[in-house]
Amino acid sequence: MRVAIVNDMLLAVETLRRVILGVPGHTVAWIASDGAEALTKCAQDTPDLILMDLIMPFMDGVEATRRIMARNPCAIIIVTATVEGNSAKVVEALGAGALDAVQTPTLAASAYPEHTNSLKIKMEAVARLVSENDKYKRTSEATLNRGRSSQKDHLVVIGASAGGPSALATVLRSLPRDFPAAVIVVQHIDEQFAPSMASWLDEQSELTVRIARERDKPEVGTVLVAGTNDHLVFLDWHAIGYTDDPRDSYYRPSIDVFFESVVTYWKGDVIGILLTGMGRDGAKGLKTLRDSGALTIAQDAESCVVYGMPKAAAELGAAVEILPIEAIALHVMKSLKPENQRNCVLLDQDLAG
């Protein structure tokens, strides 16, 4: 895999170069000292992956990510030295299309081996995603058919990856305070940044948004967000929690694993939504949801930052509806009970205006 480095600190560049060359099959495509230089080099030679710093002169990592994803899209991992101080910018970069974020490793890897290991794990995940994008073919999926219960509980489950925070904000801010369903979100994001993203989404929405805790129960008016590098799953018919199985999954947390646990345990009505993201995590799970009788929605190509996961879902026939991001909340509300009709009219007027 060809990996580019964008960083204005020589020591960080050398550290990242050594990490890249320490992984068999990985090479350094090019090095840029700021976002503007990266934009030019990426146009001339788009790599498989960019390790992007956040704070740089001339053009920072957020703006560089936004422009690269618009012009020459590729996988981007944010590599930042200060997690706490840059958490807001990390969320912004993820919304612009970055796939993940990690702490900058040190040249003395023995001092903080977890930083180097975390970066290598994320690079390996991207390498597999790149391979999937090159080799992906349509395959028939085994189905799991299950009759829906007459229980009136409603659940909306959402999966997202690169570009997800902004897409999630668009959906959530359009849902009213009296939205009659519980919402659970699985976003590909490292656990150290998940609380900041949840807090940011909470500011965007009339609903309460927070990190999902062990044995949490889905609750109307609350959005629960996966908050660890383990998989969020239903543990039984009414409670969620975390598991490290399957351990060999390089999507952590995995949208597929979560969606399939919903089909296994949830007894009420379900709406499954798959938003922007690289790779195809969530496509199989969305297909399982559809085959079990759920309404399933995939974001359309035009409104995606990265049309990977929704594209895979469309190719599998997993989505009942393929919609632009601005129309998803309205369609969800219309699909629920008649008590939402007034809110739907208001949303229609907002969209038209």
Q: Which residues are catalytic?
A: 161, 188, 281
Backbone phi, psi, residue 151, to 5°: -55, 145
CA 189/CA 225 separation, integer angstroms: 11
Long-range contacts at 58-61 (CB < 8 A, ≥ 24 apart): 58/34, 59/34, 59/35, 60/35, 60/89, 61/6, 61/35, 61/89, 61/93
User: What's the alpha-carbon Rg for the chain, to the nearest Å?
Assistant: 20
**What is the DSSP-derived secondary structure letter of residue 173?**
T
CB atoms within 10 A of CB 288: 25
Length of the chain: 353
CA 337/CA 346 separation, integer angstroms: 16
Residues near 84 by Cβ (< 8 Å), separated by ≥ 6?
Answer: none
DSSP run (H or E) holding 332: helix 325-335
CA 69/CA 79 separation, integer angstroms: 17
Helix, strand, coil percent content, the chain, rounded in steps of 5: 40, 20, 40
Backbone phi, psi, residue 133, to 5°: -60, -30
Residues near 9 by Cβ (< 8 Å), separated by ≥ 6?
Answer: 53, 81
Q: Which two tokens stand for residue 177?
A: 């305070």
DSSP run (H or E) holding 68: helix 61-71
CA 218/CA 234 separation, integer angstroms: 10
CA 141/CA 159 separation, integer angstroms: 19
Strand 182-187 relative to strand 208-211: parallel, antiparallel, unpaired? Answer: unpaired
